[in-house]
């Protein structure tokens, strides 16, 4: 083991989770090494550089709160921050807290093996570095493993192709080009209006029509910024008490308890306000399919009033529930289809057969393209974990442990994988919340847990099997009270062929945080603790 570095912890990923984890560990006097595949910090915001990439949570909330100086001093420019601005922020954080020298960039963890005889992990990277570590923290993000559909012929394509989640660092110029976009999720909906501004022809290939509400993004009002900053901790604390840990202006009225006119007025008001708070118009939208349909019908009406060609409007109009696939937030998405050089292909009616040298062949015809953009999403929530050869007790792999879908306790720990933690893993609120405070909550929990193991002479800690089984059942029970499990979303793994269909996020931040607190108060109840011999 002469070329092996001894550390207290290996942290995988230098996004928001990995950076704060490193900061916390250093403050506790631990040695940590962060392994990052990219050549810079930022995670999601490092990779997703496609045109129009922007956060759908307000910038004043989508930011760290662990340092009051940081949150007071950083100035966001817009209501919803762009990807470049978020990347500037996270780079600022890396510099401000002097984090870079404990990060190995351009390195990918290839394997992590738990050595039961020593209660330590042996972690290998593709750059030949090996670490011998007491803890491993997977800060690999929920949306980082790109989903590239296996459409035949891509290798033959003579033009350029891109995935929105792996966008080049240098600007891509589509001026005068014939461009295809495959997919109509958030990434497509953000990028299509901007690609259309440049392209000579844009054809969007849609599998499922999606609901989107306008962002009404704007420059941040200095008065509003001053107001929030004057009471930042209170603002954060109030948001923490909401289901999604976000300032959505939740209503406690039910859609079905008010008249049709009152409903329409509230939907109009929310539409004019913009963004995800639309889904907080009424308390029952995510819990009662009938209530949900009133919101869905409202958006369907908006689509038919914006899109001039009735056939295109029909194709763009979703039929299912709204919000149970993540609601999209756009700037001019539907109106983009009114431009003569933009068209929409429903791939259910006209399936893509192959990519050709010159473009895309569907069952109906050949299309010629200079560029193809795959906006086809991610192997969400589990993909970044299962693509690493993580082997726990008895050499059992994480792929084997999760073959029926991810099983975790609190989305933090997996039975059979001692001293390995996940930041915002499946089974935690993660993607159903503002990710930043959920990340901070997990980092703090993990850092406190490590400190506790030191104080109590605990050599290894892992989820107990029964606690994990009960937690998975509970996550599903809570999910079933809502409409979420009832559409084909990436929350369920439904976007990736062959992935087990399991509702992965935990719905409701406050009860989750309370459960985490109770577990700690009861000396890490539900965890197996192996004391130092
Ligand atoms: P999403 O939301 O998963 O969207 C991916 C889109 O790509 C969606 O419209 C998919 O259709 C479509 N898709 C996926 N596979 C295929 C194939 N094989 N053929 C055609 N179309 C396909 O990913 P995004 O990157 O847009 O957004 C991810 C999250 O980032 C978002 O929710 C925000 O939280 C930020 P489908 O709907 O599955 O039929």
3-state SS string for 438-470: HHHHHHHHHHHHHHHHHHCCEEEEEECHHHHHH
444 CA to centre of ligand 1 in angstroms: 32
Ligand 1 atom nearest the C-alpha of 149 is 18
Looking at 149-221, list the stretches that DSSP marks H as alpha helix, in order from N- to C-terminal side: 186-198
Ligand 1 atom nearest the C-alpha of 431 is 34
Residue 355: helix, strand or coil by DSSP?
strand
Which residue, by CA, sits nearest to atom 15 of ligand 1? Answer: 376
Ligand 1 atom nearest the C-alpha of 184 is 9
Burial of residue 466 (number of CB atoms within 10 Å: 0-12, 13-18, 19+)? exposed
Ligand 1 atom nearest the C-alpha of 48 is 25
Q: Is the CB of 372 under 6 A from ligand 1?
A: no
Task: Select from 430, 427, 447, 448 the least CA-distant residue to 439.
Answer: 430
CA distance 401 to 425: 15
Q: Is the CB of 377 under 6 A from ligand 1?
A: yes
Ligand 1 atom nearest the C-alpha of 190 is 26
- The answer to whether the CB of 324 falls within 8 A of the CB of 494 is no
Q: Report pLDDT for 3.
A: 81
- The answer to whether the CB of 329 falls within 8 A of the CB of 274 is yes
Q: Is the CB of 184 under 6 A from ligand 1?
A: yes
Q: What are phi and psi of 118, to 5 degrees?
A: -120, -5
Q: Is the CB of 163 under 6 A from ligand 1?
A: no
Return the number of other C-beta atoms located less than 10 Å from residue 341's C-beta.
Answer: 12
350 CA to centre of ligand 1 in angstroms: 18
184 CA to centre of ligand 1 in angstroms: 6
Looking at 135-253, list the stretches that DSSP marks H as alpha helix, in order from N- to C-terminal side: 186-198, 222-230, 232-240
Which residue, by CA, sits nearest to atom 10 of ligand 1? Answer: 183
376 CA to centre of ligand 1 in angstroms: 4
Q: Report pLDDT for 533.
A: 84
Ligand 1 pocket test: which of 433, 495, 504 has the largest number of ligand atoms within 8 Å of its C-beta? 495
- The answer to whether the CB of 437 falls within 8 A of the CB of 415 is no
CA distance 501 to 491: 9
Q: Is the CB of 183 under 6 A from ligand 1?
A: yes
- The answer to whether the CB of 419 falls within 8 A of the CB of 119 is yes
37 CA to centre of ligand 1 in angstroms: 23
What are the chain's domains?
Answer: 5-41+99-145+380-531 (3.50.50.60), 154-374 (no CATH)
CA distance 363 to 317: 23
Q: Is the CB of 188 under 6 A from ligand 1?
A: yes
The residue assigned the tokens 């393209």 is: 369
Q: Is the CB of 191 under 6 A from ligand 1?
A: no
Structure confidence by residue, pLDDT tens digits, 27-40: 999 999 999 999 99
479 CA to centre of ligand 1 in angstroms: 21
221 CA to centre of ligand 1 in angstroms: 33
Q: What are phi and psi of 374, to 5 degrees?
A: -90, 110
166 CA to centre of ligand 1 in angstroms: 14
Residues lower than pLDDT 50 in the chain = 1
78 CA to centre of ligand 1 in angstroms: 26
CA distance 181 to 247: 33
């Amino acid at each position: 083991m002469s070329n092996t570095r001894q550390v207290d912890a290996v942290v995988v990923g230098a996004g928001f989770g990995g950076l704060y984890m490193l900061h916390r560990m250093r403050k506790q006097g631990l040695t940590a090494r962060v392994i990052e595949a990219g050549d810079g910090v930022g995670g999601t915001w490092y990779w997703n550089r496609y045109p129009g990439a922007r956060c759908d949570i307000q910038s004043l909330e989508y930011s760290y709160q662990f340092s009051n100086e940081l949150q007071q001093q950083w100035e966001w420019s817009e209501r919803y921050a762009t990807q470049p601005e978020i990347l500037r922020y996270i780079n600022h954080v890396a510099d401000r807290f002097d984090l870079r020298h404990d990060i190995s960039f351009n390195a990918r963890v290839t394997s992590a093996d738990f050595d039961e005889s020593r209660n330590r992990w042996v972690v290998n990277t593709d750059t030949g570095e090996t670490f011998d570590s007491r803890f491993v923290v997977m800060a690999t993000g929920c949306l980082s493993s790109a989903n590239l559909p296996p459409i035949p012929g891509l290798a033959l394509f003579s033009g350029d192709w891109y995935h929105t989640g792996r966008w080049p660092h240098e600007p891509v110029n589509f001026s005068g080009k014939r461009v295809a976009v495959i997919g109509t999720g958030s990434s497509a909906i953000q990028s299509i209006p901007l690609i259309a501004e440049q392209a000579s022809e844009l054809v969007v290939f849609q599998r499922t029509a999606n609901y989107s509400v306008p962002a009404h993004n704007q420059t941040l009002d200095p008065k509003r910024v001053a107001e929030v900053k004057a009471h930042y901790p209170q603002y954060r604390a109030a948001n923490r008490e909401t289901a999604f840990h976000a300032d959505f202006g939740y209503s406690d009225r039910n859609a079905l308890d008010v008249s049709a006119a009152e409903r329409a007025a509230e939907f109009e008001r929310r539409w004019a306000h913009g963004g995800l708070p639309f889904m907080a118009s009424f308390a029952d939208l995510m819990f009662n399919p009938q209530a949900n349909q009133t919101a869905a019908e409202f958006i369907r009406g908006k689509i038919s009033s914006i899109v001039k060609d009735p056939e295109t409007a029909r194709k763009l109009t979703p039929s299912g529930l709204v919000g149970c696939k993540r609601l999209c937030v756009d700037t001019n998405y539907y109106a983009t289809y009114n431009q003569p050089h933009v068209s929409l292909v429903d791939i259910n009616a006209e399936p893509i057969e192959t990519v050709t040298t010159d473009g895309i062949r569907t069952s109906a015809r050949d299309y010629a393209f200079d560029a193809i953009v795959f906006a086809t999403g991610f192997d969400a929530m589990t993909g970044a974990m299962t693509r690493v050869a993580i082997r726990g007790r008895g050499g059992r792999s994480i792929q084997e442990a999760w073959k029926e879908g991810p099983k975790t306790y609190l989305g933090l720990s997996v039975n059979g994988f001692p001293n390995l933690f996940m930041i915002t893993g499946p089974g935690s609120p993660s993607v159903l919340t503002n990710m930043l405070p959920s990340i901070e909550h997990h980092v703090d929990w993990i850092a406190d847990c490590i400190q506790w193991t030191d104080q109590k002479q605990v050599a290894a800690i892992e989820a107990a099997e029964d606690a994990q089984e009960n937690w998975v059942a509970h996550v599903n029970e809570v999910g079933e009270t809502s409409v979420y499990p009832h559409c084909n979303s990436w929350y369920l793994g439904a976007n990736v062929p062959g992935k087990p269909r399991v509702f992965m996020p935990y719905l409701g931040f406050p009860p989750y945080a309370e459960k985490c607190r109770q577990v700690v108060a009861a000396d890490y109840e539900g965890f197996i603790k192996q004391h130092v011999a």
